[in-house]
């Protein structure tokens, strides 16, 4: 899932830079706030897909920020709360304040990115799981399987496959794929061709028949059986 707008609220500068750089490397846009007052202002005046909110902030703490956004400003943007606290009571307090998810420090960056994208999908009502014949994709667990065999995909290849499965059996044009992946700023090089090659290497090469088909002059589609899409 690409081109999300994320508000990162974290007062530890080095950690904020590390988190922000990773989220941006995943294809998303990041705004920063180092304290609760700035976070409240940005969250109310700007539109975000997900807010990543540290609990311990100078001035107005994260718990108060969350409560004010939910109760006073009526902001429904999904919120992931970051904290060093691992007690059940602290987690329950965070959920009661209006947080949608809770991640305890230290955490792995890929897990944070996966949680951000999962919350955004739920918020937008995007399908979480797709099954087409022998092929399945789970956007919550980031797992792809063909004939039951787990397939390892990079983030961009995973997103290409998700779009192709979502649109199956329709043909997806090159422009439509580029818009899904990079919005209005696609890479100058022929990045899509490279990512499609990697997808085919992972998804088609170990099996007898390929499923990712190029339709000359039109785009790409999955050459596989009827789709059964399900939410989870």
pLDDT at position 219 is 93
Q: In this predicted structure, what is the pLDDT of residue 193?
A: 87
As averages over each run of 10 residues, the pLDDT of the chain (232 residues) reads 85 93 90 95 92 92 93 90 76 85 87 87 69 87 89 85 89 87 69 88 87 92 66 42
- pLDDT, tens digit, for every residue of 83-121? 887 666 777 888 888 898 888 888 889 889 888 988 887
What domains does the chain contain, in order, with CATH numbers? 5-124 (3.40.50.2300), 129-230 (1.10.10.10)
Could you report how far apart the first and last alpha carbons of the chain are, in Å? 17
pLDDT digits (tens, 9 = 90+) for 31-53: 999 999 999 999 999 989 999 99
Is 19:52 a contact under the CB 8 Å cutoff?
yes
What is the dihedral angle through the alpha carbons of 184, 188, 189, 191, rounded to the nearest 10 degrees?
Answer: -20
**DSSP strand pairing (5-9 vs 50-54):** parallel
Whether residue 124 has a cis bond before it, omega within 30° of 0? no
pLDDT of residue 129: 80
Which pLDDT score, from 0 to 100, does residue 125 have?
57
> What are the b/e assignments for 56-80, b being 16+ CB within 10 Å?
ebeeebbbebbebbbeeeebebbbb
């Amino acid at each position: 899932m690409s081109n999300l707008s994320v508000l990162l609220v974290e007062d530890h500068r080095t950690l904020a830079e590390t988190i922000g750089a990773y989220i941006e490397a995943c294809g998303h846009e990041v705004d920063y706030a180092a304290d609760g007052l700035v976070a409240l202002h940005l969250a109310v005046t700007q539109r975000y897909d997900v807010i990543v909110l540290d609990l311990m902030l100078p001035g107005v703490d994260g718990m108060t920020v969350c409560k004010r956004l939910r109760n006073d400003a009526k902001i429904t943007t999904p919120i992931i709360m970051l904290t060093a606290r691992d007690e059940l009571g602290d987690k329950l307090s965070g959920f009661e304040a209006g947080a949608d998810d809770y991640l305890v420090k230290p955490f792995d960056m890929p897990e944070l990115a996966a949680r951000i994208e999962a919350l955004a999908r739920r918020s937008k009502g995007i399908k979480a799981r797709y099954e087409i014949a022998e092929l399945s994709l789970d956007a919550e667990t980031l797992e792809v399987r063909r004939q039951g065999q787990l397939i390892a995909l990079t983030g961009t290849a995973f997103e290409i496959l998700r779009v192709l499965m979502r649109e199956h059996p329709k043909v997806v044009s090159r422009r439509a794929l580029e818009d899904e992946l990079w919005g209005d700023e696609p890479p100058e090089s022929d990045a899509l061709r490279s990512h499609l090659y990697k997808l085919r290497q992972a998804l088609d090469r170990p099996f007898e028949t390929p499923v990712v088909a190029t339709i000359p002059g039109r785009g790409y589609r999955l050459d596989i059986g009827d789709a059964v899409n399900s939410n989870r």
